[in-house]
């Protein structure tokens, strides 16, 4: 059985001691019913992971002693997902699976075929919890950043600084992903790709994206559901760009103690 995984803040670590409080400590104590001596894995959200064993379980906190500290290897090419807002469970699914597939950041946006409704702070917090839980499930030490929704036009004019820009569009009839990658003259270290809402992108939106350097790409002859298109595009990009290659253990930076 894999080790239980918990997210902490870097400030929760003092020397070789981790201090777990709040809901995570409650979950460990009353739901999982773990005991002193049981092994755990802690993530601090920066890409660092800590192997530890429970030292003490108290009413208001749990302490553990760190035995090993490692840093997750960096992806070959950083992937930034531009995602149109989707309805209800579809948005939850995309956030969960995009996290599991290893995207670096998620940029939410509203477009012509999206109901323009700004998510409340509670909704953004809920999406952040979904991402954290997905990180625990897939053993990912650094969660992707999730950015509050913007208008698509604003995101097109002010995208994250990436080497390659793509927009997946169901009406693209000629250009393939392999064609775009073959035309890359410079080394690609980061990619920003856009996926639309249930109604897709409009022709004017795609035209605007092309003016800003985005290459339109087809996902094949079938019309995919919005969440299916996002997961397919993410998995394809991660594979083609080499981010799904096995990560040799030698690539993980190890330290017997906390710096």
Q: Which tens digits make up the pLDDT trace of 93-149?
A: 999 999 999 999 999 999 988 766 778 889 999 999 999 999 999 999 999 999 999
The answer on pLDDT for 189 being more than 80 is yes
Tokens of 23: 């809901």
Mean pLDDT, to the nearest integer, of 178-188? 79
pLDDT of residue 247: 67
Tokens of 168: 């997946």
pLDDT band at 185 (very low <50, low <70, confident <90, very high): low
The answer on pLDDT for 81 being more than 60 is yes
Percent of the chain topping pLDDT 90: 63
pLDDT of residue 2: 62
| Domains of the chain as residue ranges with CATH | 4-72 (2.40.240.20), 78-240 (3.40.1280.10)
pTM of the model: 0.87
pLDDT of residue 90: 94
pLDDT of residue 256: 47
Mean pLDDT, to the nearest integer, of 45-66? 92
pLDDT of residue 246: 78
- Confirm if 2 and 19 have CB atoms less than 8 A apart: no
pLDDT band at 242 (very low <50, low <70, confident <90, very high): confident
pLDDT of residue 179: 82
Task: Compute the CA torsion angle 85, 89, 92, 97 (nearest 10 deg).
Answer: -110
When the pLDDT of each residue in the chain is averaged and rounded to a whole number, the result is: 89
Mean pLDDT, to the nearest integer, of 222-244? 92
Q: Tokens 């004017």 identify what position?
A: 204
pLDDT band at 257 (very low <50, low <70, confident <90, very high): very low
Comparing 16 with 220, which gets the higher pLDDT?
16
Q: Tokens 């002193």 identify what position?
A: 36
Euclidean distance between CA atoms 152 and 133, whole angstroms: 28
CB contact set of 222 (below 8 Å; sequence gap of 6+)? none
Q: Where are the alpha helices (DSSP H) in the chain?
A: 22-26, 89-100, 121-138, 152-157, 177-182, 203-211, 226-240
pLDDT of residue 121: 87
Task: Compute the CA torsion angle 122, 158, 232, 115 (nearest 10 deg).
Answer: 50
The answer on pLDDT for 178 being more than 70 is yes
């Amino acid at each position: 059985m894999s080790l239980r995984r918990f997210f902490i803040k870097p400030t929760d670590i003092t020397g070789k001691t981790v201090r777990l409080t709040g809901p995570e400590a409650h979950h460990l104590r009353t739901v999982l019913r773990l005991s002193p001596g049981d092994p755990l894995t802690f993530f601090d959200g920066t890409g660092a992971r800590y192997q530890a064993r429970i030292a003490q379980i108290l009413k208001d906190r749990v302490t553990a002693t760190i035995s090993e500290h490692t840093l997750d290897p960096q992806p070959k090419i950083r992937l930034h997902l531009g995602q149109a807002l989707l309805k209800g469970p579809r948005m939850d699914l995309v956030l969960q699976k995009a996290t599991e597939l290893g995207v670096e950041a998620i940029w939410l946006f509203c477009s012509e075929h999206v109901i323009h409704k700004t998510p409340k702070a509670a909704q953004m917090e809920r999406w952040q919890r979904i991402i954290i839980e997905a990180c625990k499930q897939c053993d990912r030490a650094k969660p992707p950043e999730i950015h509050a929704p913007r208008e698509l036009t604003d995101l097109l004019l002010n995208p994250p600084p990436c080497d390659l820009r793509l927009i997946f569009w169901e009406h693209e009839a000629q250009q393939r992903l392999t064609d775009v990658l073959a035309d890359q003259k410079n080394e690609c270290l980061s990619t920003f790709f856009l996926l639309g809402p249930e109604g897709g992108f409009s022709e004017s939106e795609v035209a605007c994206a092309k003016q800003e350097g985005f290459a339109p790409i087809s996902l094949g002859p079938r019309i995919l559901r919005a969440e299916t298109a996002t997961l397919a595009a993410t998995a394809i990009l991660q594979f083609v760009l080499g981010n799904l290659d096995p990560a040799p253990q030698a690539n993980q930076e190890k330290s017997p103690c906390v710096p």
